[in-house]
């Protein structure tokens, strides 16, 4: 049984569905849909891409609806070819955060390959701090496109969750799935970290 569900008082036989909205702040339509789904109860929680173009509108929604459960959708990528966003923490190409156009990488693989671990930490911290400074009651952190839960960044991600006192969403995947994602030897490292977190 998932230890977090047990801590929330659920039994091993209970089925629990949490509907989570990603990418608030991405565009106006995403913000409006997120607000409608959260207000109606169709979704349980959401997370915001803090460095995306419509973050300010998403912030206004959160401030108007303090009852919403909203986290930070930590991102090291900006996947759309014509709708991109830069990092918040730096414009220094030496950090590996920036592609040739000065935006975050379009693919998870490129972000993992190029972004320095200390730069990833600074960027994740900047995103959380920006949300908090905007007045958002950050309830959790999660990952955009799975980049920050790669073993290269996973310990940083979990450390930030502990530092800020918020839960970190973690995917539960099998070793076979990790191998299919071309994680190779790092699959064992990821599984070991998940087992430690669940203990």
Which alpha helices (DSSP H) does the chain contain, by range? 3-7, 28-40, 55-64, 108-114, 117-133, 151-164, 175-180, 186-198
Q: Is residue 190 part of a domain?
A: no
Write the pLDDT tens digit of every residue in 23-32.
999 999 999 9
Do the strands 45-48 and 20-24 form a parallel or antiparallel pair, or are they unpaired? parallel
Task: Give the mean pLDDT of 99-116.
Answer: 96
Distance, CA of 166 to CA of 162 (rounded, Å): 6
What's the pLDDT band for 49 if we cut at 50, 70, 90? very high
**Number of domain units in the chain:** 1
* Tokens encoding 47: 């997370």
Residue 7: the pLDDT is 78
Q: Is residue 6 part of a domain?
A: no
Domain that holds residue 48: 15-173
Q: Is residue 198 part of a domain?
A: no
Write the pLDDT tens digit of every residue in 122-173.
999 999 999 999 999 999 999 999 899 888 999 999 999 999 999 998 876 6
What's the pLDDT band for 119 if we cut at 50, 70, 90? very high
Residue 77: the pLDDT is 97
Q: Is residue 163 part of a domain?
A: yes
Burial letters 133-151, b for 16+ CB under 10 A, else e: ebebebebbbbbbbbbbbb
Q: Is residue 42 part of a domain?
A: yes
Q: In the predicted model, is pLDDT for residue 15 greater than 90?
A: no
Residue 188: the pLDDT is 74
Q: Which helix (H) or strand (E) holds 65?
A: none
Q: Is residue 83 part of a domain?
A: yes
Non-local (6+) Cβ contacts of 192 within 8 A are none
Q: Is residue 70 part of a domain?
A: yes
Q: What's the mean pLDDT when you consider all of the chain?
A: 90
CA angle 69, 134, 40 (to 5 degrees): 30
* Tokens encoding 150: 């790669």
Kindly report the CATH number assigned to the domain that includes residue 97.
3.20.20.370
Q: Is residue 160 part of a domain?
A: yes
Least confident among 87-96, 126-135, 181-190: 181-190
């Amino acid at each position: 049984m998932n230890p977090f569900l047990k801590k929330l008082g659920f039994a091993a036989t209970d089925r629990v569905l949490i509907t989570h909205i990603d990418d608030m702040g991405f565009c106006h339509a995403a913000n409006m849909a997120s607000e409608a789904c959260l207000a109606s109860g169709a979704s349980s929680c959401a997370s915001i891409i803090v460095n995306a173009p419509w973050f300010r509108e998403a912030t206004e929604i959160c401030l108007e609806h303090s009852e919403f459960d909203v986290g930070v959708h930590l991102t090291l990528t900006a996947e759309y070819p014509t709708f991109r966003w830069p990092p918040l923490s730096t414009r220094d190409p030496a950090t590996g955060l920036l592609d040739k156009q000065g935006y975050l990488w379009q693919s998870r693989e490129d972000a993992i390959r190029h972004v320095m671990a200390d730069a990833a930490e600074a960027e994740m911290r900047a995103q959380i701090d920006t949300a908090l400074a905007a007045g958002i009651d950050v309830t959790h952190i999660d990952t955009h496109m799975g980049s920050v839960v790669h073993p290269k960044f996973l310990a940083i991600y979990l450390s930030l969750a502990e530092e800020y006192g918020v839960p970190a969403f973690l995917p539960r995947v099998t070793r076979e799935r990790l191998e299919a994602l071309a994680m190779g030897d790092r699959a064992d490292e990821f599984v070991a970290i998940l087992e430690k977190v669940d203990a």
